[in-house]
Structure 1
Amino acid sequence: MNHYPHPILAREGWPYIVCSVALAIVLSYAIGAWSLPFWLLALFVVQFFRDPARTIPTQKNAVLSPADGRIVVVERTEDPQLKQPAIKVSVFMNVFNVHSNRSPVDGTVTQVNYHAGSFLNASMAKASTENERNAVSVRMDNGTEVTFIQIAGLVARRILCYAKPGDRLARGQRYGFIRFGSRVDVYLPLSATVKVAIGDKVSATHTILAELAE
């Protein structure tokens, strides 16, 4: 697992930030005030790739939100990776949310699987099965298994995941990034108590999605 301290701006965005700011500077000299739209574009790029540090709740049985965004699904279904009944909680990220993804639980990574697919609007139900996605399953010390899946969206074209089978993840630990609008699905055991509802705004690490049976 590749660790690095919170740099305020995500390392995945550094090339985009440098290029957009450099372009705006060059155009400022070339066309003056007409370069304003390019400065606004550079500002958008900077805000998109912000990556603030987060305080981790101390509640031991809490499942934390892996992403900033809005809850679009809470339903009983099947975990597509573990092939067992589960509760799915989906977080949709728009282009103004932080797109750094963080582990919702403590545990050891048992599976990481990438699936090629489409780039439908990530808020749609069929995005979970048809879009490009990357699934990570983690087994906690008590044997409970949780799966969380990064899903590309209409604009997102790159899913980055740094977790590998055998890695140890801590709650709130940064494990990936999705460039531009996207979604993360979390599959929980049926015994979990969901603490969010459709339409709720959530914050990665800060928000408790659910509580696991102790």
Structure 2
Amino acid sequence: MAGDLTDNRGRGDAAWGWPPIHPEGRKFGLIAVGISLIFLLLLDWEIVGWPLLALSAGVFAFFRDPERVVPQGDDMIVAPADGLVTLIMQVPPPVELQAPDSQGLPGLGTEPVTRISIFMSVFDVHINRAPVGGIVRRVHYIPGKFMNADLDKASEENERQHVLIERSDGRVIGCTQIAGLVARRIVPFVKPGDIVAVGQRIGLIRFGSRVDVYLPQGTDSKVLLGQRIVAGETVLAEIGKQKLIEGVSQ
């Protein structure tokens, strides 16, 4: 259950259950069901009604919001999204996150850092979570294109939303929600000044997308290119830890 403490020595409880549907998606699922019933019961067009009913189930599944067991540790950065690691690159942070803000609160600077890009297909959970705990310093929305989110240039050209979180030690971690070919809306759950816990839900992207995470200087990724990861559970990195990790696809 949410809020329960578990550990690696068997403490706590675990049981499988149907994941709840996030309130943001219930209206879309109910609309799809309503249209399906019109075709099935009023118009008697089964050839259309049954596929629409199946699509309704898919809509509910897209907005599922399962509980996650979030690792607790001072230096851990956890995955903000479910999906596939498609890019790990050394790049300068986004311009919008580089400089201090009008109140003098720090940005990410201009020096290159490691960016981990996580691609979410329509089959992945699309609830995004905070990679670290702290104070939300920026939520910056930028309109843009809707090209394939798997492309590197989507970080600069697609519709996107930057979130900057300052930890209690003053370090700042940035992540960017990026719309894709199908996605048409980024929905934030937080605003500047909010205090978030690591793994807390911070937003969602409707229908396929990508999330980038910018690691602090001197920090390497603990995940590998091509690895599937789980939001709020997979540890992306440990701050200040640098080590080459190799993997073999099989």
Shorter-normalised TM range: over 0.9
8 Å CA contact 2:217–2:240 kept in 1: the answer is no
What is the aligned partner in structure 2 of residue 15 from structure 1? Answer: 27
Q: State the SS of the aligned residue for 1:23.
A: helix
- Trace 1:55-204 onto structure 2 (pairs within 5 A): 55-80=69-94, 81-82=97-98, 83-85=109-111, 86-204=113-231
What is the aligned partner in structure 2 of residue 3 from structure 1? Answer: none
**Number of residue-to-residue matches in the alignment:** 208
Shift of 1:32: 5.9
Q: Give identity over the alignment, percent.
A: 41
TM-score, scaled to structure 1: 0.93
CA distance in 1, matches of 2:67, 2:214: 25
Dislocated runs of 4+, deviation >6 Å: none
- Trace 1:21-40 onto structure 2 (pairs within 5 A): 21-29=33-41, 30-31=43-44, 33-34=46-47, 35-40=49-54
Q: Which has the higher strand share?
A: 1
TM-score, scaled to structure 2: 0.80
- Tell me which of the two structures has the higher relative contact order, counting C-alpha pairs closer than 8 angstroms and 6 or more residues apart: 1
8 Å CA contact 2:136–2:165 kept in 1: the answer is yes
CA distance in 2, matches of 1:211, 1:107: 16
Q: State the SS of the aligned residue for 1:193.
A: coil
Shift of 1:179: 0.3
CA distance in 2, matches of 1:14, 1:70: 26
CA distance in 2, matches of 1:200, 1:208: 12
CA distance in 2, matches of 1:157, 1:27: 27
Q: State the SS of the aligned residue for 1:129.
A: helix
Shift of 1:10: 1.2
CA distance in 1, matches of 2:83, 2:22: 17
Deviations 1:57-81 (A, max 9, x none): 1233111110111001111111111
CA distance in 2, matches of 1:12, 1:51: 10
Where in structure 2 are there 5+ consecutive unaligned residues? 1-18, 99-108, 242-250
Output the amino acid matched with 1:21.
V
What is the aligned partner in structure 2 of residue 50 from structure 1? Answer: 64
Q: State the SS of the aligned residue for 1:9.
A: coil
